[in-house]
Structure 1
Amino acid sequence: MKQRREAFILNIAVLSLSLFLVVHFFFVVLHVGPLNPVSVSFKSVTDGYVGRFFQQNWHLFAPEPMTQNLKLYVRVKYKKQDSAKTVMSNWHDVTEPMIKTNQGTLFSPYNRMLRIGSGYIHQLYIGGKDDLTYKLMDKISEEEKDSKEINASLENDSKEVEGIIYRYASAFAKREFSEVELTEVQFMTSVSDAIPYSKRGDSLFKVKETNVVYDWKGVVKDVVKLP
């Protein structure tokens, strides 16, 4: 009887894993494959699944690897204890400290948090989509004359990514300002060119940096502070 029960549990586990793998690869293929009616129908599901757990793009590889550095800065408005006065903080670099912590600790949650943050910043910078997807969507819009619908989709994606970064910024703010009452949070993205190899030893060389400042918003309540 015990052997039958163990065999039954094992069969259920194998079947469940097999079904999961089928669904997993189905979502991944739809997400990374060319746009088609099926992938568009499942877009909200595949974006939520693949984008949340397996976020990546092809910019690491040739022929056009990324040549820019992306950073996130956060500042907050808060009230001190026993004070009704609102104080605004300076800008805090979120990205650089995480990079240093990740480099010094091989096994830590910072690796994942860093990649999530940089991935969403990159999405926001390019409008929420990979540039190859933009080319495909432009081609589709020219053929089917549905550019309004596509532009609306792109705008919704950008707003969704922006909302995620506000949550990320709120989690950072709760860690850095745990002793005060937070009221609002604001973030700024920074894009700078990588230092050319020929200038690697020149301490006076300055790269061009472009900053985009986003609006103040209330601190997101249902996020925990970063570790």
Structure 2
Amino acid sequence: MKSHNWRICTLNILLVIFSLYFIVHFIIISLHAGPVNPISVALKPLTDRYVSPVFYQNWHLFAPNPLTINQKLYVKIKYREQHSSKEVESEWLDVTSPMIEVNNETLFSPYNRIIRISMGYMNGLQIGSADDLTYKIIEKKQEKNEDMTIIDEALSKEQEEAETALYRYATAAAKKYYPDSELISVQITTSKTKAVPYSQRKEDNYDMEEVLTAYEWKEVTKDVVKLP
């Protein structure tokens, strides 16, 4: 009887802990993604650290023109086969689509988080990870022709960090596809494709323009593990 009561008590405590966590989680997400206000500004350093990169989403869902862009990451790899000194260059590998397919087929998997992390870094690299407050400051400074040096430097630093993270991600993908080879360097290309408008969703011949941005070759990162 005592053992049964102890289990019930433990379960209730766990439920309370998880309930409190989810309440705090949604408060933080609401402050980060919601309208700019004095509280969200004051807590911005805390919410940014919590949200990025796992919960990072640069989506303006309630804006007049919400973002409707599909993104992919392509990776090209230079490597050497075992017992060979010849350098080989792979074809471009789409490392995003296979993960999305597996994630859609599997209810519980690590792929959802992995995909979101890579998407967050691609957002940071392509369109910047600035939030609504930063955009408003930029607009006001541009209207007044004020100096943008500090903001430009901050955005440039964020893009550099996102680029570094994507190259690490590319190395992890290379280790997955060529586990027994000597990896030398990787190159990444990001892809942006506008989603099909709802009004044209039934048109089979709708032309979706894919915008590709290629980046330079960089040496592989040694201290990363391969993607699952």
Query: What TM-score, normalized to structure 2?
Result: 0.76
Separation in 2, partners of 1:199, 1:110: 27
Q: Is the 8 A contact 1:174 1:226 kept in 2?
A: yes
- After the TM superposition, which residues 60-209 of structure 1 pair with which residues of structure 2 at under 5 Å, given as runs? 60-61=61-62, 63-130=64-131, 132-139=132-139, 141-142=141-142, 145-196=146-197, 197-203=199-205, 205-209=206-210
Q: Distance in 2 between matches of 1:40 and 1:176?
A: 44
Displacement of 1:184 after TM fit?
0.2
Per-residue CA shift, 1:137-163, capped at 9, x if unaligned?
A: 314535693411111111001000111
Distance 2:87 2:37 in 1: 49
* Distance apart, 1:54 and its partner CA: 2.3
Letter in 2 for 1:198: Q
Aligned equivalents of 1:62, 1:28: Cα separation in 2: 17
Q: 3-state SS of the aligned residue for 2:52? A: helix
Runs (5+) with no aligned partner, structure 2: 1-9, 11-17
Equivalent residue of 1:74, what SS? strand
Q: Is the 8 A contact 2:72 2:94 kept in 1?
A: yes
4+ aligned runs moved over 4 Å, structure 1: 23-36, 38-43
The superposition leaves residues 126-182 of structure 1 with CA deviations (integer Å, 9 ceiling, x where unpaired) of 12324x345223145356934111111110010001111111111111111101000
Any conservation in 1 of the 2:54–2:117 contact (CA below 8 Å)? no
The amino acid that maps onto 2:90 is S
Quickly say closer, same or farther: Cα 1:83–1:133, change in 2 above 3 A: farther
Distance in 2 (alpha carbons) for counterparts of 1:68 and 1:58: 10
Q: Alpha-carbon deviations, 1:43-91, whole Å to 9, x = none?
A: 4x75444213321233345533332211100011001112211111000
Mapped contact 1:35–1:136 kept (Cα < 8 A): no
- Cα 1:34–1:92 change in 2 (3 A) is same
State the superposition RMSD in angstroms. 3.6
Count of aligned pairs: 215
1:99 touches 1:114 (CA, 8 Å); kept in 2? yes
Deviates more, 1:158-167 or 1:133-142: 133-142
Query: Alpha-carbon deviation of 1:118?
Result: 1.5
Identical aligned residues as a percent: 43
Q: Distance in 1 between matches of 2:107 and 2:97?
A: 16
Q: What amino acid maps onto 2:141 in structure 1?
A: S
Structure 1 stretches of 5 or more lacking a match?
Answer: 1-9, 11-16
Q: Which amino acid aligns with 1:136?
A: K
In structure 2, what is the equivalent of residue 4 of structure 1?
none
Does the 8 A contact of 1:73 with 1:188 survive in 2? yes
2:156 partner amino acid? E
Secondary structure, aligned partner of 1:52: coil
In structure 2, relative to structure 1, the CA distance for the partners of 1:172 and 1:206 (3 Å cut) is: same
Contact 1:75 1:92 in 2 (8 A): yes
SS of residue paired to 1:117: helix
